[in-house]
Amino acid sequence: MGEVQEALTSRRTVYRYKGDEVPVHILESAFEAASNAPCHKNTHPWKFYVMGDEARESLIPEVEKLAREKTRDGEDEDVGVSKAIGKIISPPLLICVTSVRSPGDSFREEEDYAATACAIHNLVLSLWDNGVGSQWTTGAITRSDVAYAAIGASSDEERIVGFIKAGYPEKIPSITKKTVEEIRKYLP
């Protein structure tokens, strides 16, 4: 198996990370991989915001509010809140990814979103190649004004497409995927 194929098939979303920091050179290579993703009309629609302590902490009140709203009957609200805050604060890396908006041109915006998804996956696979796991998340916080304020971006110009959490895996989950026979069809 080639190395790229091996990376593509072995990569899994990682939910739990060791505390070790990811070296900057590994992160910078991942951004270089992201920057080389395909995009139509050379729009390079993606931006990556690496969230430092201050940026993450600015999300806490909104994360807390959203967690309280989500608490179901019988669940301990404070436990849910501290879990939700932990998810933002504890990953060694938290990267907010945006894709440029094109008001009045929904096809361009859709193509740019597709390109940004390619860039995210280039980033994720480059990290994986260096032993770093990650998780793409699209929780409610990614759609909040607070998240746009935290990265200093206007929601009229950019769309937050997710937060990427990353770090050295504590555990790599196993998962069953569809077989090739289920997903492809050769037509006559």
Ligand X SMILES: Cc1cc2nc3c(=O)[nH]c(=O)nc-3n(C[C@H](O)[C@H](O)[C@H](O)COP(=O)(O)O)c2cc1C
Number of residues that bind ligand X (CB under 6 A): 9
Is 98 an interacting residue with respect to ligand X (CB under 6 A)? no
Residue nearer to ligand X on the CB measure, 174 or 187: 174
Min CB(110)–ligand X separation in Å: 14
Is 137 an interacting residue with respect to ligand X (CB under 6 A)? yes
Phi, psi of 73, rounded to the nearest 5 degrees: -55, 135
Strands, sheet with 158-167, edge to edge from the N-terminal-most edge strand: 46-50, 93-100, 158-167, 133-137
Min CB(135)–ligand X separation in Å: 6
Is 47 an interacting residue with respect to ligand X (CB under 6 A)? no
Cβ proximity of 111 and 46 under 8 Å: no
CB atoms within 10 A of CB 164: 23
Q: Which of 24, 175, 183, 187 binds ligand X (CB under 6 A)?
A: 175
Q: Which of 44, 111, 139, 153 binds ligand X (CB under 6 A)?
A: 139
Please classify residue 159 by burial: count the beta carbons closer than 10 Å to its beta carbon, then call 0-12 exposed, 13-18 middle and 19+ buried.
buried
Interacting residue ranges for ligand X, rule: CB under 6 A: 12-13, 135-139, 162, 175
